[in-house]
């Protein structure tokens, strides 16, 4: 089973500063998380060209929800959360779920 953590970032006050900090500081910090299986992220867009509700979305895969809980209860987790508070001026929402593959690879 895979547990997927999703981070939804709101539109920052300074997109260039957000992007720089995210790439140079936050990603390397997040990559220190033990048992991280996959980490991907991207800037949001909308099909009709309107402003999307989120600026950036990141997905992080772990073996279990318990793994994520242990990480966020650790010193590293506290550093990651403090970093998000320092650069995510548009806010950030975290949610997670047990990943179910529905297709086509999951067929």
User: For the segment 14-24, what is each residue's pLDDT rounded down to a tens digit?
Assistant: 999 999 999 99
Neighbours of 53 (CB within 10 A): 10
Residue 101 scores a pLDDT above 90: no
- Which string of b and e fits 76-97 if b means at least 16 CB within 10 Å? eeeebeebbeebbbbebeeebe
Give residue 58's pLDDT: 98
Compute CA 69 distance to the chain's CA centroid, rounded to the nearest angstrom.
Answer: 15
Contacts of 39 (CB under 8 A, 6+ apart): 27, 30, 31, 58, 59, 60, 61
How far is the C-alpha of 77 from the C-alpha of 81, rounded, in Å? 6
Give residue 102's pLDDT: 86
């Amino acid at each position: 089973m895979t547990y997927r953590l999703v981070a939804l970032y709101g539109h920052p006050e300074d997109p260039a500063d957000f992007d720089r900090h995210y790439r140079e500081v936050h990603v390397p910090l997040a990559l220190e998380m033990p048992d991280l299986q996959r980490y991907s992220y991207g800037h949001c867009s909308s099909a009709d060209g309107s402003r999307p509700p989120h600026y950036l979305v990141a997905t992080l895969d772990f073996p279990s929800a318990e793994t994520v809980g242990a990480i966020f209860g650790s010193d590293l987790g506290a550093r990651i959360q403090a970093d998000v508070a320092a650069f995510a001026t548009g806010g950030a929402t975290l949610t997670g779920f047990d990943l179910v593959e529905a297709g086509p690879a999951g067929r």
